[in-house]
C-alpha cells in the first residue's frame, strides 16, 4: 500500500534522510522509531509531499507520487496528522470536521448553500467515532491537548484515507490520555481497515499495536522487522535505548 525506494533528502550539506527503503502492506500497522533528529518527521514530509526528495521515489497504492502536491496525495487516499496539532482553533469541534469533509468532497467553493447545512450527519457520526460527540459545539482551541489530538485525527479521517500517517500521536499526553488515544487509534484502524504508519517515542505504545517496526538513526533505517526481531537487535538497543530492554524507556 505504501512503498519508499531509496529516499533521501539533503538540506545544504546536511543529509536528513539517507537511502531509505520502506514498505507497508495493506491493512498493516507499522511504526517508525528512533532518537530525536533521526529523520522520522522529515521522512513523513517526503512521503506526504510537504518536502521534495533529493533522490528516491514514493509509491501510494502502486502509484508514483514523488514530488506530487500534498493535497493531491491526500486525494489519492493518504491522510496525515502532525507533531504539533493542526486544527482551526477558533472554530467549533463540529465546524473543524465539517470543513474537512466539505474540502474532501469539493464543496468548499459552493456559494449557494449555507455550510452549516452541509455534511452535518457525517460530521456528527465522525465525532462519535473518535469520542468527541459531546464536545461538538466547543471551540476547538479551548480543548485539552489530548482532545485536540483526537480532533486532528478526526480531520485526517474526514478525507476517508486508505493510509494514515500519524506523527507522534501521543506526544505531550498524560498516561491516561496516551492509553485512551492508542486504544482509539487501534480501534479505528481495525474498523476502517486502514493501513497505518506512525512515529512514536513511547516504546510501550509502539509494542502495544505495531505489527512491524522500522528503526531510524542519523537518517538511515538500521533495522526493520516484527517487534520481536527489533526488540532483540543489539544495534538498535545500542544506538537508541542503550542496553535497556525495549519497552521500558521513552
Q: How confident is the model at residue 40 (pLDDT cuts 50, 70, 90)?
A: very high
Cβ contacts of 134 within 8 Å, gap of 6 or more: none
Q: How confident is the model at residue 248 (pLDDT cuts 50, 70, 90)?
A: very low
Cβ contacts of 26 within 8 Å, gap of 6 or more: 1, 195
Q: How confident is the model at residue 84 (pLDDT cuts 50, 70, 90)?
A: confident
Could you tell me the pTM of the whole model? 0.85
Q: How confident is the model at residue 110 (pLDDT cuts 50, 70, 90)?
A: low
What is the tens place of the pLDDT at every residue in 137-168?
999 999 988 889 889 999 999 888 999 999 88
For the domain made up of 1-77+161-250, give the CATH fold.
Rossmann fold (3.40.50)
What is the tens place of the pLDDT at every residue in 61-82?
999 999 899 989 988 999 988 8
Can you give the residue ranges of every domain in the chain?
Answer: 1-77+161-250, 87-160
Amino acid at each position: 500500500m505504501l512503498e519508499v525506494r531509496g529516499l533521501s533528502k539533503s538540506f545544504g550539506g546536511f543529509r536528513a534522510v539517507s537511502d531509505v527503503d520502506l514498505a507497508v502492506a495493506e491493512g498493516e500497522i507499522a511504526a517508525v522509531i528512533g532518537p530525536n533528529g533521526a529523520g522520522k518527521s522529515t521522512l513523513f514530509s517526503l512521503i506526504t509531499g510537504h518536502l521534495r526528495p533529493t533522490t528516491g521515489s514514493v509509491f501510494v497504492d502502486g502509484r508514483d507520487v514523488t514530488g506530487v502536491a500534498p493535497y493531491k496525495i491526500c486525494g489519492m487516499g493518504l491522510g496525515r496528522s502532525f507533531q504539533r496539532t493542526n486544527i482551526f482553533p477558533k472554530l467549533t469541534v463540529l465546524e473543524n470536521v465539517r470543513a474537512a469533509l466539505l474540502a474532501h468532497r469539493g464543496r468548499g467553493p459552493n456559494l449557494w448553500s449555507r455550510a452549516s447545512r452541509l455534511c452535518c450527519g457525517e460530521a456528527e457520526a465522525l465525532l462519535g467515532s473518535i469520542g468527541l460527540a459531546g464536545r461538538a459545539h466547543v471551540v476547538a482551541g479551548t480543548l485539552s491537548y489530548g482532545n485536540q489530538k483526537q480532533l486532528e485525527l478526526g480531520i485526517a479521517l474526514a478525507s476517508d484515507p486508505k493510509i494514515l500517517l500519524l506523527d507522534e500521536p501521543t506526544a505531550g499526553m498524560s498516561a491516561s490520555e496516551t492509553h485512551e488515544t492508542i486504544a482509539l487509534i487501534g480501534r479505528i484502524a481495525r474498523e476502517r481497515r486502514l493501513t497505518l504508519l506512525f512515529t512514536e517515542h513511547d516504546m510501550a505504545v509502539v509494542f502495544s499495536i505495531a505489527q512491524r517496526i522500522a528503526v531510524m538513526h542519523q537518517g538511515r533505517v538500521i533495522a526493520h522487522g516484527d517487534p520481536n526481531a527489533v526488540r532483540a537487535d543489539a544495534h538498535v538497543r545500542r544506538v537508541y535505548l542503550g542496553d535497556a530492554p525495549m519497552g521500558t524507556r521513552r
